[in-house]
Amino acid sequence: MTSAHLRDPRFTGAFTAITTPFSEDGTTIDDARLAEQIAFQADGGVSGIVVCGTTGESPTLSEREYRELVVRAIELGHARELLVIVGTGSNSTAHAVELHRFAAGAGADASLSVNPYYNKPTQEGLYAHFAAIADAADLPVMLYNIPGRTGVTLGPDTIERLAAHQTIVAVKEATGSTDSAGEIALRCPDLALLSGDDGMTLPFGSVGGVGAVSVIANLVPHETAELCGLVRDGRLADALPVHQSLLPLCRAMFLETNPIPVKAAMALVGRDTGALRLPMTRATPATLATLRSVLAGLELLPNKET
């Protein structure tokens, strides 16, 4: 399946869910490293970046940090011709609408809006929540369906209803279910279906997926862009060996809660301090040992680490 049928074909391929680079003590955002990381993604050939998402530790950012990071990431991303998608989700609809409007005013290319968490709304509540966001600003919306973190699933029926809102253009599907992904693609063929789990990018491609919002792209943007491009273009047989080569890294990213492993891996390859903010803590020695082995197998470790 190609992207020609989509409502907005820009939202296909690989989108890197970038980490938020902190200083060694985690108290400030490292602007220079942010610029390096975004340049690394652009050089790797990804379609765009997602800032202030799960991988970016958005719940730990102050309001000021969030707004400054969004503005800076859009500036840096656009300078490198990347699409910039901004995480604007909240379990308060009014707050999500406020963040969505801010992202639109800051020049984002789309917002990433997650299922409301903790309060567990019904499907009708989910519909009303996302409909209010979609109608609040002239900015494309990528729905983010991740029941493992939010405690509630955005069902295919509800997504089909939401597809009537023309600003809703994509779904980041992090259910891990090809049944769910396939039904969404069948019911909403003009929405871009993106995998929210790196290991499911190819399986989702077999049922209508056109790319991924990726964690491993923080480390291997070129390979991730290659995989997502093949999936988007329907070349699934060609995508299989790429998928297989990346599977150990995909699995390693979830040895502990994201973004603990990816930040540890980025520190091992010299591209991040590895600092996280509480309640996230640094990777355990066992996780670090596995990460070193996987990174060595991909020839990503500096000589001193190998």
Sign of CA dihedral 297, 298, 300, 302: positive
Q: Residue 168 — φ and ψ, nearest 5°?
A: -85, 115
Alpha-carbon gap, residue 151 to 160, rounded angstroms = 20
For residue 157, what are its two tokens? Answer: 């029926």
Of the candidates 132, 178, 129, 184, the one whose C-alpha atom is nearest the C-alpha of residue 155 is 184
CA contacts within 13 A on the Cβ side of 60? 20
Residue 3: per-residue pLDDT? 72
Work out the widest C-alpha separation in the chain, in whole angstroms. 55
pLDDT for the residue numbered 220: 98
Residue-wise DSSP of 188-242: -TTSEEEESSGGGHHHHHTTT--EEEESGGGT-HHHHHHHHHHHHTT-HHHHHHH
The pLDDT value given to residue 305: 52
Local structure of residue 22 (DSSP, 8 states): B
pLDDT tens, the chain, 306 aa long: 457 789 999 999 999 999 999 999 999 999 999 999 999 999 999 999 999 999 999 999 999 999 999 999 999 999 999 999 999 999 999 999 999 999 999 999 999 999 999 999 999 999 999 999 999 999 999 999 999 999 999 999 999 999 999 999 999 999 999 999 999 999 999 999 999 999 999 999 999 999 999 999 999 999 999 999 999 999 999 999 999 999 999 999 999 999 999 999 999 999 999 999 999 999 999 999 999 999 999 999 987 654
Cβ contacts of residue 173 below 8 Å, gap of 6+? 145, 180, 181, 184, 193, 194, 195, 196, 204, 209
Please name every residue paired with 213 in a beta bridge, in sequence order, or none if there are none: 15
Can you list the domains of the chain with their CATH numbers? 13-235 (3.20.20.70)
Annotated catalytic residues are: 144, 172
CA-to-CA distance for 142 and 157, rounded, in angstroms?
Answer: 17
Q: How far apart are CA 270 and CA 145, in angstroms?
A: 32
